[in-house]
Amino acid sequence: MGALLEIDNLQTHFFTSGGTVKAVDGVSYDVNAGETVAVVGESGSGKSVTALSILRLIPKPPGEIVGGEIRFQGKNLAFCSEDEIREIRGRDISMIFQEPMTSLNPVLSIGMQLTEPMIAHMGMSEAEARERAVKLLEMVGINEPRRRVDQYPHHLSGGMRQRVMIAMSLACEPKLIIADEPTTALDVTIQAQILELMKNLTRDLGVAMIIITHNLGVVARYADRVNVMYAGRIVETGVASDIYHRPRHPYTLALLKSVPRMDRPRQAKLDPVDGQPPDLTRLDGGCSFRPRCKFAIDKCAESFPPLEEMGGQHYSACFRSKESLAEIEL
Amino acid sequence: MNEAQAQAGSDYGSQFRGQVSNETLITVKGLKMHFPITEGVLVPRKVADVKAVDGVDFFIRKGETLGLVGESGCGKTTTGRCILRLEDPTAGEILYDGKDICQLNNKELIDVRKKIQVIFQDPYSSLNPRMKIGDIIGEPLKVHGIIPDEAKRRERIGYLLGRCGLHPDFADRYPHEMSGGQRQRVGIARALAMEPEFIICDEAVSALDVSIQAQVINLLEELRDEFKLTYLFISHDLSVVRHICHRVAVMYLGHMVELADCDELFDHPMHPYSQALLNAVPIPDPDLEKTRAHTIIKGEIPSPINPPPGCVFHPRCPLAVDSCKKNIPDFREVRPGHWVACTEV
C-alpha cells in the first residue's frame, strides 16, 4: 500500500515585479494514513506554501505550481480540475489555520459554519448536520454545545475558537488534516490543551496530520516524523528522535542549539545562527544555507546537495553530513 | 540531568549575568490599574472596571533583570506601561530612585523618561514607516537637546547602529527595507540613544524567528553588561526568561502569584499556577516528552472585569480548598527571597 499523500518534487513559484520567488523549490515528502508528520522551518522557508499548494489555495497570480506532483490516494491534486479539488477540500483533506481570530467568519453563527461542509459534502439535511455539529463541539471539549452552536465567533475566546476550527476540520471525517501553526497565537496553558486534544482525536479517529510549526518543542511531543525546511527545500527528514538527537544537517543543528532549553543547565551565551535568511529571488545554484554555515566548503557553491540517506529513514541534504557532522549528538 | 550537573549549571548561570548591586532602582507598591467600562453615548457612565493590574508589589535592583511572565491579559504589559507612565495608575506608588513617578509633574517626568526606555514587541509597527532609520534613532537626541549639532548626531547614530550589529549606512534607509531582526535592532538602538539606566523589554524577542531571536538575546545581554543596564523583561516565553533573568515574577489575572530567584523559581516552583505554566512548556526532546508527566490545567483565564472572588486562580487550581473562594491569599515570603500568594503551599 502506498502512502496517503505523496508530494513529489513540488515547485511553487511566485512571479512578482521584484523577480521570481522560488518559495517551494523541489519539495518531496509523504504522509502515511494515521501518521503525524511535522514540517518545521522559519518564516519564508516555504512550509506554509507547500501546505497551501496541497489544497491548491495559492493565489494565482502571482503564485503558481510550476512543477511536481501531489498524489492523494492516487490522484494528482497539483493539476486536477477545479471541481475535483473542491470535492477534496474540506472533505478528505481539511485545514486548521493559525489565526483563530480571523479564520472564522464573524457574521455567521458557529452552527452555520460547522454545518456548511457537512451539507455540501456529505448530503446531510440541516437537522442532521446540526445534531452532528453539537456532537463535534462536545467532542472538542466545548461546554454547553447546544447553546454554543447559535453563538458567533466574537462570543468565544481564542482557545475556544481554535476548538471550533478543530471541530470544523473533523466535520466530514477527513483522512488528512493540515494544521498550519495551530497553537502559535495561543497562550502556553491553552496551547497544551489544544495539542493534547488534537493528538487524542487524530489517534482515536485514525486521521493523518501534517503539523506546520516553527516551534521545535511542539513538534517533539507530537510528531512521528519531522521535515526541516530552509529556503524552499527540505534539508533534513527523519523520525523525530533522529532529528532531535542526531541531526546531520548544519541548519537543524544550529536551530536546535539556538533555543534556550528548560531541560538543560543554563548557558552563558546562546549560540545563534549568524546572518539572515536568503533572499528567495536571488538564489544561486549552490546550497542556500552556505552563507550562514560553519561547515561550508568550496563544493557547496557548485550545486545544491541532494538528500542523502544517513541510515534508517533519515536523510540530510549536506555534502558534509557523513564526515564532520557524523559524531555530533545532542 | 544529574544533581551535580544541575548544581554546576546554576552556578555557571549566575556568574554570567552581570553585576547586581544591593541598591534598589525601582519599587512598586500596591499598584492598581483599573480601566473603566462606560455605557451611554452622550452621558457616559461607568458600569464596571477592567482590573488589569490589581495590587502588585515588587522591586528591581540596579543592574538586575527582572522577568515578568504570564499569559495574555495577566497585566504584565500594563504594569510596564504604568512604570513608563503611559498609563496613570488607579492606586499605588512607583518609586524610581526614591521619587514617586505617579506624582511627578510634566517637567519632572521629562527628566525621568530620559532614563527609562522601552523596546516593543512588534518591530513592524513600532517604527514610523515614513521616517529614515537615522531620524528614528536621532529624534530623542534632538528633542531633548542632547546633541543639537547635526554632524555629531549622525556620528552618534552611526555608533549606536554599529553597536547593535547594523551597518552605519542603515541610517539612510527606511524601515520597510529591513527584516524583522534588523528592525528590532533599530528599536534597541533607539532605546539606547538616551543612555538610559532602565529599559523595559516588552516581548522584545517574541516576534522573531528562532535563529534571529538568539542573536537579539545575546545583544541584549552584551548591552546590559556594557552599559550597566537594568531590565524589566516582560515575556510569555519561559525558556527565554530563564536564560536572561536574575529574578522572575509570575502574574495571573492582575495579581502577582510568585516571585523568586530565577533558578529557585524554575527548579522549585511553588504556586500551582507557576507549576502548570512550567509544565506546559514543550521541550525539544521527543524521548523526554514521551516520559514527562503532563498535568494540563483545565479551563481558561476568567475575565478581569469580573474576576473570581478570593484567590483569582481558584476555579482552575488543583489544590483549591473552600477558603480559597473567600480569602485573598497574602503575598508572603516562604523562603528568603521566594514569595508566593497561596495558602496551600
B81-136 per-position pLDDT tens digit: 999 999 999 999 999 988 899 898 888 888 888 899 999 888 888 899 999 999 99
Q: How many domains does chain B have?
A: 1
Q: Is residue B14 part of a domain?
A: no
Q: Is residue B3 part of a domain?
A: no
Question: Which pLDDT score is estimated for B56?
Answer: 93
* CATH code assigned at B108: 3.40.50.300
Structure confidence at residue B10 as a pLDDT band (50, 70, 90): very low
Q: B6 pLDDT exceeds 60? A: no
CB contact under 8 A, B12 and A266: yes
B131-179 per-position pLDDT tens digit: 999 999 999 899 888 888 899 999 999 999 999 999 999 999 999 988 8
Strand order, beta sheet including A36-40: A93-96, A176-180, A208-213, A36-40, A225-230, A233-239, A315-316, A308-309
Q: Is residue B156 part of a domain?
A: yes
A7-31 per-position pLDDT tens digit: 999 999 999 888 888 899 999 999 9
* Domains assigned to chain A: 5-223 (3.40.50.300), 233-316 (no CATH)
Question: Which pLDDT score is estimated for B116?
Answer: 93
Region of A19 please: left (phi>0), alpha (psi -120 to 50) or beta.
left
Q: Is residue B170 part of a domain?
A: yes
Rounded to the nearest angstrom, the minimum Cα separation between B179 and chain A is 8
In B23-62, the residues whose Cβ lies within 8 Å of chain A are none
Question: Which pLDDT score is estimated for B185?
Answer: 92
Structure confidence at residue B5 as a pLDDT band (50, 70, 90): very low
Rounded to the nearest angstrom, the minimum Cα separation between A74 and chain B is 32
Q: A231 pLDDT exceeds 60? A: yes
Question: Which pLDDT score is estimated for B1?
Answer: 35
Q: Is residue B1 part of a domain?
A: no
Rounded percentage of chain B residues whose pLDDT exceeds 70: 94
A36-66 per-position pLDDT tens digit: 999 998 888 888 899 999 999 888 888 889 9
Q: Is residue B33 part of a domain?
A: yes
User: In whole angstroms, how large is the CA radius of gyration of chain A?
Assistant: 21
CB contact under 8 A, B72 and A214: no
CB contact under 8 A, B210 and A216: yes
Question: Which pLDDT score is estimated for B80?
Answer: 93
Per-residue cell: A220: 517533539
B225-262 per-position pLDDT tens digit: 999 999 999 998 899 999 999 999 999 999 999 999 99
CB contact under 8 A, A192 and B213: no
Q: Which residue has the cell 491553552?
A: A190
Alpha-carbon distance of B211 to B213, in angstroms, equals: 6
Q: B4 pLDDT exceeds 50? A: no
Alpha-carbon distance of A71 to A30, in angstroms, equals: 9
Q: Which residue has the higher pLDDT, B185 or B22?
A: B185
Give ipTM to 2 decimals: 0.81
Strand order, beta sheet including B91-96: B45-61, B24-39, B91-96, B99-100
* Chain B residue with minimum CA distance to A279: B179
CB contact under 8 A, A261 and B209: no
Question: Which pLDDT score is estimated for B12?
Answer: 35
Structural domain harbouring B58: 20-340
Q: Is residue B8 part of a domain?
A: no
Q: In chain B, which residues have their Cβ closer than 8 Å to the Cβ of A219?
A: 284
Question: Which pLDDT score is estimated for A208?
Answer: 93
Tell me the average pLDDT of chain B.
87
Query: For residue A172, which phi and psi values (nearest 5 degrees)?
Result: -100, 25
Q: Is residue B126 part of a domain?
A: yes
